[in-house]
Amino acid sequence: MSTDALASTTTAPGREVAFEVAGLGDEAVGYLDAWELQRRVHAEVVAGERPDTVLLLEHPPTFTAGKRTEPHERPVDAGGAPVVDVDRGGKITFHGPGQLVAYPIVRLPDHVLVVDFVRRMEEAMLRACADLGVVAGRVDGRSGAWLSASERGPERKVGAIGIRVSHGVTMHGIAVNCDVDLAWFDRFVPCGIADAGVTSLSSELDRDVSVHELLPVLRERLAEMLAWQPYEPTPDAGPPAPCAPGGVPRVEVLRPGSSA
């Protein structure tokens, strides 16, 4: 499996971030192949053999179950898609055509805590959505990018996040629904949250928003957040969620220095 570097890289003070498209559309990358690619890139970043790298791709239909997934949250009928148990935090989610996935494999600066990194990745999604005309925000106690309840529907999620940190370098990442078939999300309890919905940019804008349209926008916003400069957070999407008080992101992570 080959990866194609985008036309440019982003340089933070003293650091370079490379963006690579691993496969989109007909070249979507199987989840297990992408996981192996992540491991290889992660080892090279840890060893200092390559710069911080963000992999951008689509997956064929796949359910991935994080370490907090409960048995009842798994799909009873997966519709032929595999269900893969993974080493990231969080619960179960879906990846498939029409969803842009970004895997930032980056070394965290000493001043950036793991939760700070999660917030930065959320911010990249929120700003990319806003660039396309969708106003999203955070919901206290729930990770990801959310839209407030409105006449269009209940509180609903447009972007998901789940990460792992090993040897101070991140793995896994974020996924934004562009024109994904939302019927897949009816087969399970997305992220273990039963009292909210799932949406896409296409559904919210009443037009087709493709992965190719979002890709350069999300890339720019990720580069912005990975420059590690101070930023003004996007306002929250709505009131605190009752299921997880305290404002702690519902993302389990391994602290820097944990074994891969």
Q: Among all residues, which ones are annotated catalytic? A: 191
**138 strand-pairing partners:** none
Collect all residues with Cβ–Cβ distance below 8 Å to 40 and sequence separation of at least 6. Answer: none
3-state secondary structure of 203: helix
Please give the C-alpha separations between residue 70 and each of 61, 101, 137, 193, 229, in angstroms, as whole numbers.
21, 24, 27, 11, 37
Dihedral sign computed on CA atoms, order 140, 111, 122, 23: negative
Question: Is 252 within 8 Å of 145 (Cβ atoms)?
Answer: no
Question: Is 160 within 8 Å of 146 (Cβ atoms)?
Answer: no
